[in-house]
Amino acid sequence: MLLQDKKVAIAGGGPGGLTLARLLQLKGANVKVYERDVNRQVRVQGATLDLHYESGLKALREAGLMETFKLAYRPGADRIRVTDEHARVYFDQHGEESNDDFGDPWFRPEIDRGPLRELLLDSLQPGTVIWDSYITGMEKNGEGWILNFHNGNSAEADIVIAADGANSKIRPLITPIKPFYSGITVVEGNIYDADRNAPHLAVLLKGGKIFAFGNSRTIILSSKGDGSIAFYTGFNTGTAAAKASAINIKEHLQVLEWFKEEYHSWDTVWNELFEHPGTSFTVRPLYCMPLDQAWPAQHNITMLGDAAHLMPPYAGEGVNMAMLDALELSEVLTGNSFTDTLPAIAHYEQQMLKRFTEVAGITLDNTSWMHSPEGLKKMLEMFNPTNYQ
């Protein structure tokens, strides 16, 4: 095995990094995951994740974790409602027969980020994850690397895999290529105890997902297993983005006033997203890596997930691509097809970038039409094209 007697360091304990650690450990590799969170009890933010048969679920199958996943996923959370800005429902999957067939390539079960991380963490050998390890930089150490952390600690590794997300500290050691702005900014939030703090939206959501369209803007809501609602309000760049970036996101009344102004044509029911003082917000401009990005492979460093191919979230492929990256990287590093790590990593990166080019093109197209005057119409055509010619 290429990793015989080698120390592998994975930077980042998200789904991609943890999946890779699990897959490598199954083949006997010496792996450590360095995660910036202080401990595993830190609450995981973000919307629910729908895992796909050919990527995220495939990685879990190879990792021997499908039965555990079936106990942790949320049946029915994948059901979608499509509305306009007045909260009128145009498409509703809640009346359809439930499909929980894990052999169906079109079944995309939902799981919250927290439970997914927990099941991956529980699958690792004790001591695999080194918490409170925010990487501040790396330096070469012979044929390997020294990783330096904010807490003053350091670690040695023969091979480093960057799974540290959009603001990766390791990516610049692989390529200087930077992402470009997609033209869309989102204000992201999470409403805890939604039945009490956003009761009308909780009823509208019905434990699933909502895609709302109006005036070239979007709102996407996802129910979570802890009773909260995660949401994204998306809008084209311009004054809305500038004003959103200028507000004090810790002051919910300022965010509410911004929303009332920029989403003035939307029904007041959506104000519940911003009315509760306990809701936290993040202003997030959406970036994408160039579709033609490429770089020369190195024998002791590579990357996966958002660190490698950041893109907007409007195709649901982010976590799935990261987990598929983990699977394919584990296969080239532990299989018998290569006799050296350089051609193995080069092969992985070529396949990963080819896949990214295709998926990112679809994602950018989705991002564009969803934030256009035709957004609602095009979304409905996706679900029932014969009715919207």
Which helix (H) or strand (E) is 186 found in, with range? strand 180-191
Q: Is 306 annotated as a binding residue?
A: yes
Look at residues 55, 287, 265, 283 and name the one whose alpha carbon lies nearest to residue 171.
287
- Residue type (1 letter), 178: K
Which helix (H) or strand (E) is 138 found in, with range? strand 135-141
Look at residues 17, 114, 2 and name the one whose alpha carbon lies nearest to residue 59.
17
126 Cβ contact list (under 8 Å, min separation 6): none
Three-state DSSP class for residue 380: helix
Q: Is 50 annotated as a binding residue?
A: yes
Q: Which two tokens stand for residue 283?
A: 């202003």
Three-state DSSP class for residue 258: helix
Three-state DSSP class for residue 270: helix
Three-state DSSP class for residue 43: coil
Pairing of strands 80-84, 30-34: unpaired
Task: Name residue 33's beta-bridge partners.
Answer: 10, 129
Rg (CA), the chain: 21
Q: Is 100 annotated as a binding residue?
A: no
CA 233 to chain centre: 16
Q: Is 226 annotated as a binding residue?
A: no
Q: How many CB atoms lie within 10 A of CB 269?
A: 15
Three-state DSSP class for residue 61: helix
Look at residues 118, 316, 321 and name the one whose alpha carbon lies nearest to residue 225.
118
Look at residues 9, 31, 332, 282 and name the one whose alpha carbon lies nearest to residue 156.
9
| CA 377 – CA 116 distance, rounded (Å) | 34
| CA 21 – CA 12 distance, rounded (Å) | 11
- Binding positions: 43, 50, 113, 306
Extract the annotated binding site for FAD.
50, 113, 306
- Binding-site residues from annotation for NADPH: 43
